[in-house]
Amino acid sequence: MISIEHLEKVYPTSSGDIHALSDVNLSIADGEFVAIVGPSGCGKTTLLKILAGLESHTGGTATIAGAPIAKPRGDVGMVFQKPVLLPWRTIGQNVLLPLELHRKVGRAEKAAAQNLLDMVGLGDFVSKYPKELSGGMQQRAAICRALVHDPAVLLMDEPFGALDAMTRDALNVEVNRIWRETAKTAVLITHSIPEAVFLAQRVIVMSPRPGRIVDVIDVPFGPTRTLDLLGSPEFADLNARIRSYFEVTA
């Protein structure tokens, strides 16, 4: 579904070029869930923006379903670090926004939005405004907004970083369920190694800037993930293996 070959990203500045990404190579299968981890400033979010068509690349290639990525695409949905819901629109209206930008919204589209909100436990909040929802509920609405046009690819940029630990764990379980039920190709950027291991089928480890892929780690757990997994020795061992890439020795 996603193919990245020899990808480069350079930002020219008055004091010299900044190399954000260097020779990144990665293939992601249709329906696969991949998480990308790495130190701050390694180019994780830049890579995601390139996949979303929000950022151009300097060299190499990036394609989705065989087509070069040159601009935002209708078959890609994105969840940002913050929900960015419009405060003057209801939750239902916020979810429908991507459809309104491309076509007239009718009964079928409203039903699709309602079904998504029902799926994430927000069906009774369709007429509420963002300020009436908790942070976790707002982020669930943002996920619905990213899915409402039924994209093939779901991109998530540290979507739960601002949430408390218990809410974050609950939403991780929710995202796992949504991924299993919708069969989307999912790419998650996160600073949380446990979150990456809990959600992904493969964890991509990136180096400090310029960002390169230093390891691709298969996660040997089945598609269904529950919070019991967090306490298993296998989960702890995998976390420790990934964390070893970022340990600083005196």
User: What is the count of structural domains for the chain?
Assistant: 2
Residue type, 70: A
Residues 92 and 122 in one domain: yes
Residues 57 and 68 in one domain: yes
Residues 46 and 116 in one domain: no
Query: Which pair of structure tokens corresponds to residue 46?
Result: 């830049």
pLDDT, tens digit (0-9, with 9 covering 90-100), for 141-165: 999 999 888 899 999 998 887 788 8
DSSP secondary structure string for all residues of 160-173: TTTS-HHHHHHHHH
Residue span of the structural domain in which 110 resides: 84-150
Per-residue pLDDT of the chain (250 residues; tens, 9 = 90+): 999 999 999 998 888 888 999 999 999 999 999 999 998 888 899 999 999 999 999 999 999 999 999 888 888 999 988 888 999 999 999 999 988 877 777 888 889 899 899 988 899 999 999 999 998 899 889 999 998 888 999 999 988 877 888 888 988 998 999 899 889 999 999 999 999 999 999 999 999 888 999 999 999 999 999 999 999 999 999 999 999 998 764 4
Residues 19 and 117 in one domain: no
Task: Please state, in angstroms and rounded to a whole number, the distance separating the CA atoms of residues 43 and 191.
Answer: 12
In the three-class reduction of DSSP (H, G, I as helix; E, B as strand; rest coil), residue 175 is classed as helix
Residues 245 and 184 in one domain: yes
In the three-class reduction of DSSP (H, G, I as helix; E, B as strand; rest coil), residue 27 is classed as strand
- Give the helix ranges, DSSP H, for the chain: 44-52, 91-100, 107-119, 135-147, 165-182, 193-199, 233-243
